[in-house]
């Protein structure tokens, strides 16, 4: 008999409140920016897979929108999708902001997770900013929520503690095949990531009112040996939001475009020409066929 350990593979859902660092962690683990991040809550809308291939196995990480109370139809889809997901994965990495004690939102998710059959690991992120005198009390507050869950500490931002993470996740996955080619880091088409890079700049550059009312669609990508041309539409709900996105003398749209283009150039490793359009589509978030057209799926 050979002493080779069996190749393991499977799915790990990264679950947690908005803003705890789920997308940052996904990017850090796959070593490339596939998920957008921002200080604004509820950034991630669609489910995004990050693929991590190691000599001993393949870990498919699933970034999820945070579980939160639905306020409108988009919110309901986000919650329902997260709940469906947990039943389908091999392991949940319950990610929390380890720089602060557990709050009500963490408790809500923990109680819900405790009722599921899927095993859960507790990931305490943001270890780079933990006040030393509070470290013990913070850890205890999370462990109290899920007393039997193994606890991991790391910083998705600085990379501290991340090197060990894959080998801590792998034993929880069953023996299985290499589902994706080893060089693949995400299952999402490049177009989706391009649209997300534009949405990311809008989240960073505009104020409270606009971000959640925005969707971005990449209409066309033209690739030549010299340059990649990208044509995209930013969809908002109200003319007032369109005015904000465009800005005084088009200045805001120009900044969004310039910064998104810089990120896209890293993605395609070459020069990018980006043209942006802005369109008002009243109530797109409450309208099922518009949600579908814009790429938001209710998954079953
Ligand atoms: P998500 O909503 O859970 O996906 O959170 P994001 O990944 O978008 O991150 C939310 C914010 O937390 C961003 O401003 C990140 O830069 C920040 N963040 C994520 N991980 C860390 C970390 O380990 N340390 C610190 N200091 N900030 C982090
Ligand atoms: Mg996110």
**Reduced 3-state DSSP string for 26-54:** HHHHHCCCCCCCCCCCCCCCCCEEEEEEE
Pocket test for ligand 1, best of 24, 45, 82 (most atoms within 8 A of CB): 24
First to last CA, the chain: 42
The better pLDDT of the pair 3, 133 is held by 133
The better pLDDT of the pair 261, 282 is held by 261
Say yes or no to pLDDT of 40 above 60. no
Say yes or no to pLDDT of 17 above 60. yes
Q: Is 17 in the pocket of ligand 1 (CB under 6 A)?
A: no
Q: How far is the CA of 264 from the centre of ligand 2 (A)?
A: 19
Q: What is the mean pLDDT of the chain?
A: 86
Report how far residue 159's alpha carbon sits from residue 41's, in angstroms, rounded to the nearest whole number. Answer: 22
Per-residue pLDDT, averaged over 252-274, amounts to 92
pLDDT one-digit tens code per residue, 194-253 = 998 999 899 888 866 676 788 898 888 898 888 999 999 999 989 999 999 999 999 999
- Least confident span in 37-51, 110-124, 140-154, 177-191: 37-51
Report how far residue 284's alpha carbon sits from residue 179's, in angstroms, rounded to the nearest whole number. Answer: 35
Q: How far is the CA of 105 from the centre of ligand 1 (A)?
A: 17
DSSP H helical ranges for the chain: 22-30, 73-88, 104-114, 135-143, 165-169, 190-205, 239-246, 251-268, 288-293
Say yes or no to pLDDT of 299 above 50. no
Nearest ligand to the C-alpha atom of residue 18 = 1
- Specify the pLDDT at position 300: 37
């Amino acid at each position: 008999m050979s002493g080779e350990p069996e190749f393991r593979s499977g799915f790990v859902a990264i679950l947690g409140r908005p803003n705890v660092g789920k997308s940052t962690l996904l990017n850090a683990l796959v070593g490339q920016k596939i998920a957008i991040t921002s200080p604004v809550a509820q950034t991630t809308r669609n489910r995004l897979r990050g693929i991590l291939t190691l000599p001993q196995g393949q870990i498919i990480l699933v970034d999820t929108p945070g579980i939160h109370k639905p306020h409108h139809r988009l919110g309901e889809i986000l919650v329902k999708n997260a709940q469906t997901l947990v039943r389908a994965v091999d392991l949940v990495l319950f990610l929390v902001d380890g720089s602060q004690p557990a709050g009500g939102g963490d408790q809500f998710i923990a109680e819900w997770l405790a009722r599921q059959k899927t095993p859960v690991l507790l990931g305490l992120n943001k270890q780079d900013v933990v006040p030393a005198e509070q470290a013990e009390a913070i850890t205890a507050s999370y462990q109290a929520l899920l007393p039997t869950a193994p606890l991991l500490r790391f910083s998705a931002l600085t990379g501290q503690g991340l090197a060990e993470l894959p080998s801590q996740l792998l034993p929880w996955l069953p023996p299985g095949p290499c589902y994706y080619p080893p060089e693949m880091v995400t299952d999402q088409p490049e177009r989706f990531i391009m649209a997300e890079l534009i949405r990311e700049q809008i989240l960073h550059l505009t104020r409270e009112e606009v971000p959640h009312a925005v969707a971005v669609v990449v209409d066309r990508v033209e690739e030549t040996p010299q340059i990649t041309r990208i044509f995209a539409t930013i969809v908002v709900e109200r003319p007032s939001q369109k005015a904000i996105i465009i800005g005084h003398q088009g200045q805001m749209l120009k900044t969004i475009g310039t910064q998104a283009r810089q990120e896209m150039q890293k993605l395609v490793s070459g020069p990018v020409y980006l043209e942006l359009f802005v369109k008002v589509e009243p109530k797109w978030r409450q309208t099922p066929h518009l949600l579908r057209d814009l790429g938001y799926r209710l998954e079953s």
